[in-house]
Structure 1
Amino acid sequence: MQRLSTYDVPARDRLSYLHDFVARHVAGLRFKPADSDTFAFDLAAYFLDERTTVGTACYSAVLGQRPKDLLAVDGRQDYLMTIHTADYEVAMEGKSPLVIKAGDITLVNEGEAMAFALPATLLKVVSLDEARLAAIAPRVRMHALHHIPAEAAGASLLTGYADLLRAASPETDTGRRLAGSHLYDLAALVIQGAGADAAEQVRPSLGAARLELVKTDILRHLADPEFGVADVARRHGVTPRYIQRLFGQEGLTFSEFLRDARLDAAYNALGSAGSRAATVSAIAFDAGFGDLSHFNRVFRQRFGATPRDIRAATLRRCQ
């Protein structure tokens, strides 16, 4: 992960550092702040491979462009996929500006001159290798700019998976390679129109990406004892049976994953010095267990010790 913020460099050098960071990690662009005195930015970039980057950028109001002279120098041809939190305008050379709504996806080829006007915004960006993307989504070469509404089929899965990679990036080369493949497949699904044929071609990546998003959703709702497979299915717009099939691919059931995640949360809390004042029952309930005897039983089966054993060991360490 690479980061750059306004406060990392002297004011006189901010634009040059910004141009260098963006050019090295994402795209060749030039920026002109709406107000140089108050201009601020905060950038982060994570690399799945040398041609694929996921990141975020927070800007105060700014104009940007990819002019012809810059194209001639760097020769970039890859695609930039962006999602903004505010409406903004983008214009390809010789065409009228297009208003992009917050949450929509744009896919822009760096081989074409363009300009954009951003209000204060947070944007999520993915840099995609043009040749790799075109090999599975040939339709991408039909246009230099693709505008994909947030409600388009497959769009929420693509953006959700990209968000997941930003929040929990794979730490191994194998993980990064698999995550990159899933990301390209999901982008291809959206570009090709998310029809049955396109979905069939990328089915393994669809399932893997969906399962990771489902797991993340479950982890956010562990404390709710009523949270179940029907809630997850409804939130993701699929059936409970589909959710169960996703877990089945890993030799698990939804209930087993939920139980183990709650047990892990409880174990971590019991072993934390910061929760010494909490009772075992309070920790169990906070982890989403509604039945204390059931919690004690499955905890011992999982960890080979009782919750009180873990709590006692924690207290001894803290003395």
Structure 2
Amino acid sequence: MTNGHISALQCLRRPNPVEMTSCRTYRQRPKCAWSGTNDVLTRAYSSRSLSRGAIVQHPAGPWRPFMRTNRLSFRGDKRGMTALPPPFVPLHISTDAFPVDRRLTMWREVYGRTIAKFDIEPINDMPFRAGVTLRSFPGLGVASGHRSDARYRMTRELAANSSDNLIFAVVTNGVGIISQRDREATIGAGEALLMSATEPSISTLHSGGRFITLSVPRDAISIMVVEPNSMLVHPIPRQNEALRLLTGYLGILNEVDKLSAPELQRTVVTHIHDLLASALGATQNTVLLAEERGIRSARMRAIMFDIVDNLEKRELSITNVALRFSVTPRYIQKLFESDGTTFTEYVLERRLLEANRLLSDSRLAKRSISDVAFKVGFGDLSYFTRAFRRRFGMTPSDVKEQARRESDG
């Protein structure tokens, strides 16, 4: 291998996701949100479609893939360096770079199958065109672009391979029709709705459609919004103030070439999470976090994340959490009291919600109820069953059976 060439397949075969930074240097890449993978941009670049002459435009200039000894490689710039885009730098993909007679085929493979996990079906005979700009941050993926009239179908097979993310779709021009969970909703310019990345869906955009899509780990939103699953495929009107702020914020972000400072990246992700939660209907404490962003509210947010990260541990207690954050148990209790709840109630609620999510997932049908209970931190199966029934009005067995029937149907 020469200094001017590097095999993308070698990168993909490494045991951990990596980013190619030069012909000799590899660097660990932070986890990003698109499709729940760390190497989705690497896989996008290494798609076989790109080996057939396509040019993906990037702020640093065009990348011209070519085949060499049956391995997909990338030629670098005039200095002989080869690299994929650095983290958090926008990636632009457009059908304008593809041969006219193969635009749809290549878009299906590069964007549909590799990045967004959709099958793509045009709904008219007009020439197909599409373009998207992708930005990936730790805990957040942002896509914005345009496309010809088409259905983007998330099949059950594709959904099964997706990460547990929530998708927030905003239509900025045209009309969108989204179907999921036997619900169908139509949204126009300035409106939005929430979808699940792990369930089949059909998204149709027509009439000069333009869009902004956010991909966010479910845990990041469920901390701030009670039962986000209940909000799936429910339109959010353009009059929603938080949605207008979020759309404006994303418009500004779309004009930024890169965000290199880690602190700035974290700030951007936090602001977008806050605005998204507010648009969906955030809890009282989340609104407080978004408004104040002081030490006290930031610590509360961190404690909530810590609880979710440690739900499976039966020794999870206010004392252990207080030790991790170097505060007193009473201090933590006062934080939760300001939100009208207690530490114990919050832990129980999060465990029950997670158990309900696992039991409702038909892909996990072979997992027993006791396994689910222990997985989310319950040590007493009888107590778990009683608490679950009080919370959801159904037994764990009822929920599991309902998920099985819906899957068979």
Question: What range describes the TM-score normalised by the shorter chain of this pair?
Answer: 0.5 to 0.7
In structure 2, distance between residues paired with 1:121 and 1:180: 26
- The counterpart of 1:55, out of the listed 114, 139, 143, is 143
Q: Does 1:29 align with 2:118?
A: yes
Q: Does 1:15 align with 2:102?
A: no
Pair 1:22–1:53, CA change in 2 (3 A): farther
- C-alpha distance after superposition, 1:42-71 (max 9, x if no partner): 11111222x411121210111111111212
- For 1:113, the equivalent position in structure 2 comes to 200
Q: Which amino acid aligns with 1:183?
A: I
Pair 1:98–1:142, CA change in 2 (3 A): closer
Q: Does 1:189 align with 2:278?
A: yes
- The counterpart of 1:77, out of the listed 145, 164, 186, is 164
Q: Which amino acid aligns with 2:223?
A: A
In structure 1, distance between residues paired with 2:165 and 2:280: 15
- For 1:103, the equivalent position in structure 2 comes to 190
In structure 2, distance between residues paired with 1:134 and 1:196: 14
Q: Which amino acid aligns with 2:95?
A: T
- C-alpha distance after superposition, 1:273-319 (max 9, x if no partner): xxxxxxxxxxxxxxxxxxxxxxxxxxxxxxxxxxxxxxxxxxxxxxx
- C-alpha distance after superposition, 1:222-267 (max 9, x if no partner): xxxxxxxxxxxxxxxxxxxxxxxxxxxxxxxxxxxxxxxxxxxxxx
Q: Does 1:130 align with 2:130?
A: no
- For 2:25, the equivalent position in structure 1 comes to none
SS in 2 for 1:70: helix
SS in 1 for 2:199: coil
- C-alpha distance after superposition, 1:96-128 (max 9, x if no partner): x32112210111111221112211311111111
Aligned partners of 2:136 and 2:142 also within 8 Å: yes
1:146 is displaced (CA, Å) by 3.8
Aligned partners of 2:195 and 2:232 also within 8 Å: yes
Pair 1:64–1:17, CA change in 2 (3 A): closer
In structure 2, distance between residues paired with 1:196 and 1:122: 33
- For 2:267, the equivalent position in structure 1 comes to 178
Q: Does 1:155 align with 2:243?
A: yes
Q: Which amino acid aligns with 1:174?
A: E
- For 1:41, the equivalent position in structure 2 comes to 130
In structure 1, distance between residues paired with 2:265 and 2:252: 13
Q: Which amino acid aligns with 2:262?
A: D
In structure 2, distance between residues paired with 1:123 and 1:94: 23
Query: TM-score, normalised to structure 2's length?
Result: 0.45
1:131 is displaced (CA, Å) by 1.4
- C-alpha distance after superposition, 1:135-194 (max 9, x if no partner): 22233133433421111242211211122211225332221111101111111122125x
Aligned partners of 1:77 and 1:111 also within 8 Å: yes
In structure 2, distance between residues paired with 1:3 and 1:36: 25
SS in 1 for 2:128: coil
Aligned partners of 2:93 and 2:131 also within 8 Å: yes
Q: Which amino acid aligns with 2:211?
A: L
Where does structure 2 lack aligned partners over 5 or more consecutive residues?
A: 1-89, 295-409
Pair 1:76–1:188, CA change in 2 (3 A): same
In structure 1, distance between residues paired with 2:218 and 2:140: 10
In structure 1, distance between residues paired with 2:102 and 2:140: 31
Aligned partners of 1:63 and 1:117 also within 8 Å: yes
In structure 1, distance between residues paired with 2:186 and 2:192: 12
Aligned partners of 2:274 and 2:290 also within 8 Å: yes
Aligned partners of 1:108 and 1:146 also within 8 Å: no
- For 1:254, the equivalent position in structure 2 comes to none
Pair 1:115–1:148, CA change in 2 (3 A): same
Aligned partners of 1:63 and 1:116 also within 8 Å: yes
1:21 is displaced (CA, Å) by 2.9
- For 2:93, the equivalent position in structure 1 comes to 4
Q: Which amino acid aligns with 1:164?
A: I
Q: Which amino acid aligns with 1:83?
A: V
- For 2:254, the equivalent position in structure 1 comes to 166
SS in 2 for 1:117: strand
In structure 2, distance between residues paired with 1:36 and 1:204: 52
In structure 2, distance between residues paired with 1:67 and 1:21: 15
Pair 1:131–1:196, CA change in 2 (3 A): closer
In structure 1, distance between residues paired with 2:241 and 2:293: 16
Pair 1:190–1:37, CA change in 2 (3 A): closer
In structure 1, distance between residues paired with 2:112 and 2:291: 33
In structure 2, distance between residues paired with 1:125 and 1:75: 16
Aligned partners of 2:131 and 2:145 also within 8 Å: yes
SS in 1 for 2:153: strand
Query: TM-score, normalised to structure 1's length?
Result: 0.57
In structure 2, distance between residues paired with 1:159 and 1:23: 27
Identity of aligned residues (%): 16
